[in-house]
A and B are shown apart, each in its own frame.
Chain A
Amino acid sequence: MSMTGIEEMRKISEQRWSDLKGAEKVAYIGAASCGHAAGIVKVIRAIDEFNEKNGLGIEKVEVGCLGMCSFEPMVYFQKNGKDPVVYGNLDGERIPTLLDGIFNKDHYPIEGLLGVLGEGYDDLPSIYDHPMMRPQRRIILENVGRIDPTNLEHYLANDGFKGLEKALKMDPQEVIDIVKGSELRGRGGAGFPTGMKWQFCRNAKGEKKYLICNADEGDPGAFMDRSVLEGDPFRLIEGMIIGAYAMGTQLGYIYVRKEYPLAIFRLHIAIRECREKGILGKDILGSEFDFDIEIMEGAGAFVCGEETALIASIMGKRGMPQPRPPFPAQKGLWGYPTNINNVKTLSTMPSIMRKGADWYSSIGTKGTRGTAVFALTGKLKNSGLVEIPMGTTLREIIFDIGGGMDEGKSFKAVQTGGPSGGCLPADALDYIVDFESLKDAGTIMGSGGMIVMDEDTCVVDVAHYFISFTQEESCGKCSPCRIGTKQMLDLLTKIKAGDGTRKELDELASLAWTIQNGSLCALGQTAPNPILTTLRYFMDEFREHVFEKKCRARVCKALIQYEINELKCIGCGACERRCPVKAISEKPVKVTTIKGSKNNIRVIDPGTCIRCGLCLETCPPSANAISKVSPIDRKDEKKQGGDGK
């Protein structure tokens, strides 16, 4: 298709889009992985039934996910061409009253109402004023949750491919200059200036060149790239074509985790659609520039997210990192100059091209321009996917956007940067988020995972978790990483088991140094970070484990016991039946139940108990007789009690 061809198509798309926006009755259905799983199917069925029975003629459109994951399933209802109204936490049963209210009685029921997708009207607030939305600045997520991700017309009608059109009219060097001017830094974790990287690749000599999109997202707690791929695949494709044109690449790869089936499915649709319309392939939009994209599925190796390992993997080799130099820009895939960028880096390009370098560089902080997408998870009220301008504080993200801690618990720590990052305590909440600031705090911004932990989390356990992750995922090529992470894991296992001494604590710190400085790639070099930060900020808790044999969060099994409160136990026996190891038995103390029968109460034998916690879950809430305790505290209490008398 030529440039004029796309203009015509855009006109048609805009017409269709405005028809849709002006339509009388539409239900926009959240349909990312989250919506799919959160019972959206039942909601859709209920809408269909009501629609048919009442002959309402509601049109249904599937859109991506707005990122307000704790409010899924979500549907937005549009009436008489007014901006749609978003409802969350829906279930099938509520649909008839809701639809009846909105479409028959002109009344928007308040339950589950989140706001108008647009400016508010008639007493209805805008969803962009919702605490979870207000502080956001959506650039990469601009379309996510608003359009049907697999509908090219929706993308075109929302400024899609305008950035590409603009780029194709420029000299490739001009495109790179704009990227340089935007000061965008890569969002894959390391924060390397993208314009500079593109320049290296453009300058490198090679018969052909490659552009790879790194969508191997594997950090525990991360789902940013999945949501971007599921929610707006055309944007990534546009970004890739812009990059390919600027660097002179003919073939691009999207290397995507196999565990992201919906993302892979939608990417396939989007690529096919673009090929059919002449946006990918030969002579793109009549520019005489040729470029195509292949999707490659990963095969379950976290280390393949590292760029040299990823290249080895595409070539069908073991996914092991290579020493750099040579850098991929000089000698990458099949020996040719290759550029690798993260999903979000490439997905930012369409906006930068459209709005200019100055626009982008006016957002964010001096060292880190623009926005970043975070996957906000853990023990907070509102988990989800958010895009914030750089310079927002951790406190704003966790307490304003995230709504603070769930169930009235208190905040303990936030982990950023996944297994390469670290854990920060409450004192650090006023750090702003950008590449430099979080480095000062001892962690990294990383690619956007943010795990919030409450008082029930044990930081030693968290450190143990992350090191067992890196130990498992270490490719085994270099010994500091392979052996060092194993040793660290053993040390932490010992501490968790209550067998730690001062020696283990000291060894942790010195091993961390060796692994940081001796490993071949960033997997090993950053592996000690979760341990170093927890040691730095939560030494008290490590000391308690080592010297007092106490786990204050009551997580480390060797340091806790389950107990039945004799005064509360109603002798129902539910725990005894549930216990997998028969550690619970009757004790000849009778209680009288409400119904008047006399039961024996139960006791737990700590020697047999495996601390699985099933009894605690099984105990009826009305009795609430079972609790987790630190035996050490028990002893202290007894001692104090005795002395006091």
Chain B
Amino acid sequence: MAPSTEEKQFLDKILEEASQLDSPVMFILHKMQNEYRSIKEDHAEYIARSMGKPLSEIYSAATFYDEFKTSPTGKYVVKVCRGIVCHSRNSIQVLNAVRARLDIDDGETTKDGLFTLEEASCIGQCDGGPAMIINGTVFRDLDPDLAVSIIDRIIGSGGA
């Protein structure tokens, strides 16, 4: 498979932006992950070819980092902190509540493609645990009900 014209346009745009940078690869991978929720093989190939790098180089980075996925995540990635401080404040119950609400386990994505659930090690909000982070928004001082209501709010808004 090759990237569609639209996809090529996007990839060309980030290649162009990245060409201004001293160290472009991570920037490109982040942009791809954000846009397509995964690093697709044909995209990686296209990027590698355009940059004159072996595909293995792009792919070895793409597969090393937790943030980059080879299969797409949900639109929202819910990372529930399982760090030691949150743990001591019963983060397991927050995690269980979210698991139950979404009916998925950690590392899985809901069938409608809206949510991916992940366990995170400390996300640096320990003074306000249990904490979770959803697409760059931090939620603190959670309890199971509050966590579920946050998820409900996203679902209620039609995932917009």
Q: Is the CB of B121 within 8 A of A299?
A: no
Residues from chain B with Cβ under 8 Å of A385 in the complex: 127
Chain B nearest CB, measured from A32 CB (Å): 10
Determine which of B67, B121, B127, B137 lies in contact with A258 in the assembled complex, contact meaning CB atoms within 8 Å: B67
Say yes or no: is B155 at the interface (Cβ < 8 Å to chain A): no
Judging by beta carbons under 8 Å apart, are A37 and B121 in contact? no
- Assess whether A38 is in contact with B85, with CB atoms less than 8 Å apart: no
Of B6-14, B57-65, B102-110, which stretch is located at the interface?
A: B57-65
Q: Are B138 and A36 in contact (CB under 8 A)?
A: yes
The reply to whether A221 and B84 contact each other, CB–CB distance below 8 Å, is yes
User: Among residues 52 to 100 in chain A, which have CB atoms less than 8 Å away from a CB atom of chain B?
Assistant: 69-70, 72
Whether B113 sits at the interface, judged by CB under 8 Å, is: no
Q: Does A300 contact B (CB under 8 A)?
A: yes
Alpha-carbon distance A378/B129, docked complex (angstroms): 10
Are B125 and A223 touching (Cβ within 8 A)? yes
| B122–A315 CB distance below 8 A | no
Contact residues, A314-369 vs B (CB, 8 A):
314-320, 333-334
Interface centre among B25, B58, B83, B126 (most CB of A within 10 A): B126
Complex-state Cα separation, A469 to B24, whole angstroms: 30
Minimum Cβ distance to chain A for residue B142 (Å): 9
Decide if B67 touches A300 in the complex (CB within 8 Å). yes
Interface residue from B64, B122, B125 paired with A318 (Cβ < 8 Å): B64
- Taking CB atoms, residues of chain A closer than 8 Å to B133 are 259, 261
- Within 8 Å CB of B128, what residues of A? 33-34, 37-38, 69, 72
Q: Encode contact with B along A222-246: 1 for CB under 8 Å, 0 otherwise.
A: 1100100000000000000000000
6 A-B residue pairs with Cβ-Cβ distance under 8 Å, sorted by A, are A38-B128, A223-B127, A261-B133, A315-B23, A465-B84, A617-B93
B22 within 8 A of A: yes
User: A473 contacts the other chain (Cβ, under 8 Å)?
Assistant: yes
> Across the interface, which residues of B come within 8 angstroms of A223, CB to CB?
124-127
Residues of B at under 8 Å CB distance from A?
Answer: 21-27, 29-30, 57-58, 60-61, 64-68, 79, 83-85, 87-88, 93, 96, 120-128, 131, 133, 136-141
A378 surroundings in chain B (CB, below 8 A) = 85, 88
- B66–A301 touching, CB < 8 Å: yes
Name the residue of chain B whose CB is nearest to the CB of A292: B22
Residues of the B chain whose Cβ atoms lie less than 8 Å from the Cβ of A315: 23, 25
Complex alpha-carbon distance, A217 and B122, angstroms: 10
Known: A220-B121, A221-B126, A299-B65. A261 touches B27 (CB 8 A): no
Q: Which residue of B lies closest to A264 (CB)?
A: B136
Contacts of B79 in A (CB 8 A): 259
CA distance A451 to B131 in the complex (A): 16
Contacts of A299 in B (CB 8 A): 26, 29-30, 65-68
Q: A69-B128, A614-B93 are in contact. Are A300 and B66 (CB under 8 A)?
A: yes
- Closest Cβ–Cβ distance, residue A528 to chain B (whole Å): 17
B22 adjacent to A251 (CB under 8 Å): yes
B140 near A318: Cβ-Cβ < 8 Å:
no
Q: Which residue of A lies closest to B22 (CB)?
A: A251
B23, B29, B65, B131: the one contacting A319 at CB < 8 Å is: B65
CA distance A469 to B138 in the complex (A): 22
Q: Look across to chain B and name the residue whose beta carbon is closest to the beta carbon of A314.
A: B23
Known contacts A34-B128, A300-B67, A319-B64; can you find 9 more A-B pairs with CB under 8 A? A37-B138, A38-B140, A223-B127, A259-B79, A262-B138, A296-B27, A316-B26, A377-B85, A612-B96
Which single member of B87, B131, B138 contacts A261 (CB below 8 Å)? B138
* Distance A72 CA – B128 CA, assembled complex (angstroms): 10
- Of A253, A297, A318, A612, the most chain B CB neighbours within 10 A belong to A318
Whether A602 is near chain B, meaning CB under 8 Å from some CB there, is no
Question: A294: CB under 8 A from chain B?
Answer: yes
Contact indicator B124/A259 (Cβ below 8 Å): yes
A48 to B22, CA, bound (A): 46
| Nearest neighbor of A226 in chain B, beta-carbon distance | B124
A294 touches B127 (CB 8 A): no
Would A465 and B60 count as touching, CB distance under 8 A?
no
The complex places the Cα of A71 from the Cα of B88 at a distance, in Å, of 20
**Once bound together, how far apart are the Cα atoms of A36 and B26, in whole Å?**
29
Q: What is the distance, in angstroms, from B4's C-beta to the closest C-beta of chain A? A: 25
Considering the complex, give the chain A residue whose CB is closest to the CB of B127: A69
Docked complex Cα distance between A253 and B140 (Å): 29
> Which A residues touch B58, using CB under 8 A?
316
CA distance A221 to B88 in the complex (A): 11
Complex contacts, A313 vs chain B, CB 8 Å: 26
Q: Mark A444-458, 1 if CB is under 8 A from B, else 0.
A: 000000010100010
Establish whether residues A33 and B125, one from each chain, have CB atoms under 8 Å apart when the complex forms.
yes
A220 in contact with B26 given A38-B141, A294-B21, A453-B88 (CB within 8 Å): no
Nearest-neighbour CB distance to chain B for A132, whole angstroms, equals 12
Q: Which residues of B contact A217 (CB under 8 A)?
A: 124
Is the beta-carbon distance between A221 and B85 smaller than 8 angstroms? yes
Distance in Å: Cβ of A230 to nearest Cβ of chain B:
10
CA distance A176 to B80 in the complex (A): 44
Given contacts A316-B57, A451-B84, contact A218 B122 (CB under 8 A): yes
- A632, chain B: closest CB distance, angstroms: 24
Residues of A27-47 whose CB lies within 8 A of B: 33-34, 36-38
Given known contacts A69-B127, A220-B84, A469-B121, is B65 in contact with A300 (CB within 8 Å)?
A: yes
Question: Considering only CB atoms, which chain B residue lies closest to A303 in the complex?
Answer: B64
Interchain CA distance A141-B96 in the complex, whole Å: 37
User: Chain A contacts of B25 at CB under 8 A?
Assistant: 315-316
Query: What is the distance, in angstroms, from A39's C-beta to the closest C-beta of chain B?
Result: 8
A208 shortest CB reach to chain B, Å: 10
A259 touches B123 (CB 8 A): yes
A462 at the interface (CB under 8 A from B): yes
Judge whether A297 and B93 touch: CB under 8 Å. no
A:428-476 near B, CB below 8 Å: 451, 453, 457, 462, 465-466, 469, 472-473
